[in-house]
Amino acid sequence: MKKLFATLCLLIALPASAIDCSNMWDWATAACQRVDKINREGKNDLLVSGYSWHQRSTYEAEKLESFNEFAYGGGLGKRIEFENGDQEFIYGMILADSHEDPQLQVGYMRLWFWPVVGKLSVGAGMSLSLISRQDVIAGIPFPAPLPFLAVRYGKASVMGTFIPRLNGQLNNGNVAYFFGRYEFD
């Protein structure tokens, strides 16, 4: 509960903070300045965590039965939208992982959108997140570059990603994760 409270306090304070991008490598300075611009000029988003689907053939039945697939939680984001509808955004989320332990993540995402009809559009993009899970390296944050897909209608989106199995062993990876986003402002 203390981690949840601390994380929520940090997420709420994010818009009030400035980022110092000096004294970095050139590529890091450019990335830092981009994140700072989104933080200062971006519009607000509400994220509502939703569902984690575990590929059935990747896990033993006993393990699947122990999993929480209702990944309840939420977060906040800031986005910049370009004239063509594409977006960049930064976000922070806390959600219940497969073991119902808190999973904390912050990240940057770039999405390209294509109109379908009316206010409906589909998108694809990439995210680079720092994720902290108790069952992965004892909660030490680790980087996670992931692909994303989105379906957007007006200001509401359903977004999803796929977390692949990396080591070829049973009982990890091959998880599809879905959440909702509402764009304020």
Band of pLDDT at residue 134, cut at 50, 70 and 90: confident
Tell me which of 98, 121, 129, 157 is the catalytic residue: 98
- pLDDT at position 3 is 52
Domain count, the chain: 1
Tell me which of 49, 52, 97, 121 is the catalytic residue: 97
Say if 76 falls within a structural domain.
yes
Say if 21 falls within a structural domain.
no
Say if 58 falls within a structural domain.
yes
Tell me which of 45, 54, 121, 127 is the catalytic residue: 54
127 labelled catalytic? no
CB-CB contact of 24 with 36 (8 Å): no
CB-CB contact of 52 with 177 (8 Å): yes
97 labelled catalytic? yes
Give CA separation, 122 vs 1, 91, 125, 171, in Å. Answer: 37, 20, 11, 32
Number of residues assigned to the chain: 185
Burial letters 101-114, b for 16+ CB under 10 A, else e: ebbbbbbbbbbebe
121 labelled catalytic? no
Rg of the chain taking only CA atoms, in angstroms = 17
Domain limits for position 52:
2-11+27-183
CATH code where residue 151 lies? 2.40.160.20
Band of pLDDT at residue 17, cut at 50, 70 and 90: low
Global pTM value = 0.83
Say if 45 falls within a structural domain.
yes
